[in-house]
């Protein structure tokens, strides 16, 4: 057997702290750093959204290529101990907004080209020798934005192994059928890929299918979600394909960056604490209540929510349960951005219940940390949840999670550290909240819950070791 120190081309469309729309950014950063610490040689590859994180020209030009009319420069830069390759193509990536959408939240109409070129460039990098040479053992693709690399890598000789990780099956990168023709001309796609057992999905071009069909191994981010995506209910029309590939599907639960999310050293919070001093949280709570215009009452339980405001996250269940939440004496503070209707309802709730409900709209990393440090409870009533990170951050911060038992939430929260419910309804959420508040009013029980969560190890080490074993499987796979 060869060395177990792998060269990994790690593809992502988001990377904390530079550009983040959700958990993928945190995972890309935390996992790739954990792999570096374990001695692997990692290149994180991402589009260069230069307008989203003002990066100057100090980076080293590794290599360049041309894909149809687009010139792609590969710039090498460092992020802490990570080596990052940014694919610079201003016409495609230097735009305001998020990686996927304009500042109003509308998807860019040419996302097929933007992420098609990204995938094609990744495949080119995987088989190309830049200076100094970097021939990967494994190409690790994450979610639909990088998935189109898989068929290009798969058709090349002497190729690296391909791992495709599903962080959320609900986002598939679907485009009208004409998009396949457009990209065929641009990227040199094989016409045979336009088939239901390849990239076609009911007449549409599906980027995620490129990963699901052509990768050597698939993984997802919790055992619970790995089971659920094989069902019609949560398979998003892909359960049949996933069942077909079930032997190649693995589950590895996400870790957290336990330096960045550490209440004992968190630079965003005023009063730092640890499992031996969880009562210090209360001082953070009073500060936050003032900051958000809530009644500054230390004995009122504060429930927080930090989330993309989309149906997946069950924000409507919280809104429906609001009268009950308030009648139980609790306060609610929500940080998030997303669907206009949820934002409108949250604004209205704040206006109707000043002092009891707060809503901060937007992405705000510092406030997310302050909410974790100040909250008594975290609400996460997701309809589905591949892994979920906030419940992990919460447990680390002694903020007790109240979660729906789905996907990774069911795998990571149990009766020793939080409260769970099954039915996706306001009533079931309220019943769990009622049980949580009974515990809140019994300080020894509450301390026990807090300390159990705070003392758990959520660091990336164990998960990175599991990815390493999976890379080992890929390395030893028979030549195709």
Binding site for ligand ADP (CB under 6 A): 22-23, 26, 306-308, 335-337, 363-365, 368, 387-390
Question: Count of CB atoms within 10 A of residue 297's CB?
Answer: 14
Q: Which two tokens stand for residue 361?
A: 């709209």
In the bound complex, what is the minimum distance in angstroms from residue 49's beta carbon to ligand ADP?
17
Question: Which residue number has the CB closest to ligand ADP?
Answer: 23
- Helix (H), strand (E) counts: the chain: 18, 18
| CB 224, CB 407: distance < 8 Å | yes
| CB 139, CB 455: distance < 8 Å | no
Residues 6+ apart with CB under 8 A from 178: none
Peptide bond into 17 cis (omega under 30): yes
Sign of the dihedral defined by the CA atoms of residues 159, 163, 168, 170, in that order: positive
Q: Which is nearer to ligand ADP, 179 or 219 (CB)?
A: 219
Sign of the dihedral defined by the CA atoms of residues 170, 175, 180, 183, in that order: negative
In the bound complex, what is the minimum distance in angstroms from residue 332's beta carbon to ligand ADP?
15
In the bound complex, what is the minimum distance in angstroms from residue 388's beta carbon to ligand ADP?
4
| CB 200, CB 179: distance < 8 Å | no
In the bound complex, what is the minimum distance in angstroms from residue 272's beta carbon to ligand ADP?
19
In the bound complex, what is the minimum distance in angstroms from residue 98's beta carbon to ligand ADP?
12
Question: Count of CB atoms within 10 A of residue 254's CB?
Answer: 23
Residue 478 DSSP one-character state: P
Q: Which is nearer to ligand ADP, 14 or 468 (CB)?
A: 14
Q: Which residues does residue 338 pair with via DSSP β-bridges, in sequence order?
A: 309
In the bound complex, what is the minimum distance in angstroms from residue 23's beta carbon to ligand ADP?
2
Q: What are phi and psi of 45, to 5 degrees?
A: -115, 130
Q: Which is nearer to ligand ADP, 264 or 366 (CB)?
A: 366
Tokens 């069942």, residue?
Answer: 243
In the bound complex, what is the minimum distance in angstroms from residue 223's beta carbon to ligand ADP?
16
Q: Which is nearer to ligand ADP, 86 or 360 (CB)?
A: 360
Q: Which is nearer to ligand ADP, 41 or 339 (CB)?
A: 339
Question: Count of CB atoms within 10 A of residue 470's CB?
Answer: 20
Burial 96-108 (b: 16+ CB within 10 A, else e): ebbbbeeeeeeeb
In the bound complex, what is the minimum distance in angstroms from residue 307's beta carbon to ligand ADP?
5
Q: Which is nearer to ligand ADP, 335 or 400 (CB)?
A: 335
Q: What are phi and psi of 277, to 5 degrees?
A: -135, 55
Q: Which is nearer to ligand ADP, 75 or 368 (CB)?
A: 368
**H or E, element range at 260:** none
In the bound complex, what is the minimum distance in angstroms from residue 375's beta carbon to ligand ADP?
12
In the bound complex, what is the minimum distance in angstroms from residue 192's beta carbon to ligand ADP?
34
Q: Which is nearer to ligand ADP, 23 or 151 (CB)?
A: 23
Q: Which is nearer to ligand ADP, 11 or 389 (CB)?
A: 389
Is 76 strand, coil or helix? strand
Longest dimension (CA), the chain: 66
């Amino acid at each position: 057997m060869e060395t177990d120190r792998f060269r990994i081309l790690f593809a992502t469309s988001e990377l904390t702290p530079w550009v983040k729309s959700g958990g993928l950014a945190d995972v890309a950063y935390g996992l790739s750093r954990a792999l570096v610490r374990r001695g692997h040689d990692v290149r994180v590859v991402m589009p260069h959204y230069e307008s989203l994180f003002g990066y100057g020209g100090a980076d080293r030009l590794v290599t360049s290529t041309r894909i149809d009319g687009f010139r792609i420069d590969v710039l090498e830069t460092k992020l802490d101990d990570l080596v990052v390759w940014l694919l610079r193509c201003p016409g495609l990536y230097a735009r305001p907004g998020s990686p996927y959408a304009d500042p109003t939240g509308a998807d860019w109409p040419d996302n097929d080209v933007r992420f098609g070129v990204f995938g094609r460039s990744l495949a080119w990098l995987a088989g190309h020798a830049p200076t100094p040479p970097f021939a990967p053992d494994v190409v690790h693709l994450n979610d639909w934005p990088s998935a189109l690399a898989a068929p290009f890598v798969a058709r090349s000789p002497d190729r690296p192994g391909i791992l495709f990780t599903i962080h959320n099956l609900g986002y598939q990168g679907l485009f009208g059928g004409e998009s396949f023709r457009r990209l065929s001309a641009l990227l040199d796609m094989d016409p045979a890929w336009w088939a239901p057992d390849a990239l076609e999905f009911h007449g549409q071009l599906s980027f995620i299918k490129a990963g699901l069909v052509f990768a050597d191994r698939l993984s997802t981010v919790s055992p619970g979600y790995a089971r659920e995506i094989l069902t019609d209910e949560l398979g998003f029309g892909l359960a049949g394909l996933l069942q077909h590939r079930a032997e190649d599907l693995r589950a590895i639960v996400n870790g957290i960056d336990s330096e960045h999310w550490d209440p004992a050293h968190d630079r965003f919070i005023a009063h730092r604490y640890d499992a031996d001093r969880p009562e210090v949280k209360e001082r953070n709570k009073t500060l936050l209540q003032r900051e958000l215009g809530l009644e500054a009452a230390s004995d009122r339980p504060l429930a927080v929510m930090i989330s993309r405001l989309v149906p997946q996250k069950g924000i409507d269940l919280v809104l429906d349960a609001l009268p009950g939440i308030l009648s139980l004496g609790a306060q609610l503070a929500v940080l998030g951005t997303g669907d206009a209707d949820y934002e409108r309802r949250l604004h209205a709730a704040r206006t109707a219940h000043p002092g009891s409900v707060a809503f901060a709209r937007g992405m705000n990393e510092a406030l997310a940390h302050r909410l974790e440090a100040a909250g008594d409870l975290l609400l996460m009533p997701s309809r589905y949840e591949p892994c979920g990170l906030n419940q992990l951050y919460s447990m680390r911060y002694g903020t007790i999670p109240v979660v729906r038992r789905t996907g990774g939430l069911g795998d990571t929260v149990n009766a020793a550290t939080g409260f769970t419910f099954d039915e996706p309804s306001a009533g079931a959420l309220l019943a769990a909240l009622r049980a949580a508040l009974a515990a809140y009013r019994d300080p020894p029980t509450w301390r026990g819950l807090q300390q159990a969560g705070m003392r758990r190890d959520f660091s990336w080490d164990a998960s990175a070791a599991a990815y390493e074993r999976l890379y080992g499987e890929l390395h030893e796979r028979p030549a195709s």
